Amino acid sequence: MTLQSSFADPQILGIYMLMAYCLYCLMRQPGSLRYAFASPLWPLTIFTVVAFASAVVISRAPMYSLWRSAETSVVLLWAALVFSHLKREQSPIKLFVAYYAMSAIMLVAVLVAVVIDPQNAWIHEQHKVDRLETSSTFMMAANTIGVMAALIALATLARFILLTKVRYLALSLAALAICYGARSRTGFIVFVLGLLVLTGFLLRMPRRRGIASIVGGLAGVLIVGLLLVSPEFTDSVVHTFTRGHSEANIRSLDGRVPLWTEGLKAFEQYPILGAGYGTYPVRLVGRGHFHNMFLELAVTTGVLGLLPILILLGIIGTRLGKLLLRNHNYDGAISHSINLLDVLLIATVVIVSQMSTAAAAYYSWQMIGIVVLAVGLFAIPDTYVTNDGDSNCVPSVVATQSTSSTLQNHQSFEVQKHPIIL
């Protein structure tokens, strides 16, 4: 690939246009760039520098590696702009909704691709298993579709429970149907984990603790009972989860274990800067990538590239833990509960899914999800003010003018008290 040929690729051209737009915004607000060196974005800044260094110094395909590095730098610039905006608002709910909207639009594009070109919208595996994976018109892998649909299903289900609006339940069921159509094991796993997170969160809400306990108990008894007394139901669940693959294939995680072993050997060849961002020192026949974000980064950017990402995830986990350990009045502010649920669900789906995929190693939906999570977490204040003066939660969605003024004064105090938000 050359610089001239890259302008003929619509996807690469779109990245260049997005970068130009981010640079234009930074020219209008040059102060936003400093947030690239503040918590929690400084590890991503270091990683971007390492990616460019590996592309220039060691990559066997420098133009390809530079393109991948440019994609990552676009995410970094966008994150700095968003962080600058959210620092003033102190509420990440619009950011989360925008991420869900982007995900929903991509799923709608998949459905459009199914209508336009149904023959290339499904991949046919052995044992008569079809998976939703668009290979033309709009390209998206089955694992990405499944994980994305699982997150939408969980987010809309949470809003249905908290806001009791039927439209969210309809959206949740539609997303769950798409998740099932993709037949992604990763999608199924993160959806189940997300349900457990949602149930645990509801148990912390006094007004919903009873209904959550009853529904969760009945669902657990029903599923366990069917597994014990109905061989047909058990076979159906196993076939759906394994997609008809053999037991040996499942034990090797669909061939991922041998691939990870090969990746560790490849890492030993270039342990410092890697083989070059997006390139491998070995040829992976029929695999495409190492199916693990951490191993992917270790092979392509070495220890210097992997360490900043691990630090970023550590910062996210620490901040999330501090927020959850505080004594929040969940029933007093539904908007605050939705914010906390959003960060929990995004963390569960996006980060856990990277153990079996490598999508977040590059500019992608998963990479954007990690940035949204990091920025959103640091946009949530540590304490909140309600109409009655309670400092444990955020104000209600419909607040009086006096309450808004009180909240602004309180947030100003909190920014001084917690400079890490800056």
Alpha carbons 142 and 122: distance in angstroms, whole number = 9
Spell out the residues 6+ positions from residue 189 whose beta carbon is closer than 8 angstroms to its own. 352
pLDDT in tens, 136-185: 556 677 888 889 999 999 999 999 888 889 999 999 999 999 988 888 88
Of 150 and 238, the one with more pLDDT:
150
My answer on whether 354 and 387 are in the same domain is no
Domain that holds residue 305: 3-23+31-380
My answer on whether 192 and 107 are in the same domain is yes
My answer on whether 401 and 266 are in the same domain is no
My answer on whether 393 and 300 are in the same domain is no
Taking residues 202-217, report their average pLDDT.
77
pLDDT in tens, 301-330: 999 999 999 999 999 999 888 887 775 555
My answer on whether 422 and 366 are in the same domain is no
My answer on whether 307 and 391 are in the same domain is no
My answer on whether 288 and 392 are in the same domain is no
pLDDT of residue 266: 84
Alpha carbons 307 and 38: distance in angstroms, whole number = 17
Alpha carbons 63 and 50: distance in angstroms, whole number = 15
Using CB atoms within 10 Å of the CB of residue 237, give its burial: 0 to 12 exposed, 13 to 18 middle, 19+ buried: middle
DSSP string, 244-257: T--HHHHHTTTTHH
420 falls in which pLDDT band (50, 70, 90)?
very low
pLDDT in tens, 80-139: 999 988 877 767 888 999 999 989 988 998 888 888 877 777 777 665 567 777 765 566
My answer on whether 318 and 411 are in the same domain is no
DSSP string, 276-287: -TT--SS--TTT
Q: Which amino acid, residue 27?
A: M
pLDDT of residue 194: 92
My answer on whether 116 and 149 are in the same domain is yes
Number of domains the chain is built from: 2
pLDDT of residue 173: 92
My answer on whether 364 and 410 are in the same domain is no
My answer on whether 199 and 266 are in the same domain is yes
Taking residues 375-385, report their average pLDDT.
71
Is 379 a residue whose pLDDT tops 90? no
Q: What is the pTM of this model?
A: 0.79
Mean pLDDT score of the chain, rounded to an integer? 77
pLDDT of residue 134: 74
My answer on whether 149 and 289 are in the same domain is yes
Taking residues 284-289, report their average pLDDT.
57
pLDDT in tens, 325-355: 775 555 556 777 888 889 999 999 988 887 7
Spell out the residues 6+ positions from residue 267 whose beta carbon is closer than 8 angstroms to its own. 274, 295, 298, 299, 302
Alpha carbons 217 and 316: distance in angstroms, whole number = 32
Q: Name the packing angle between helices 185-202 and 231-242 (round to 10°).
A: 110
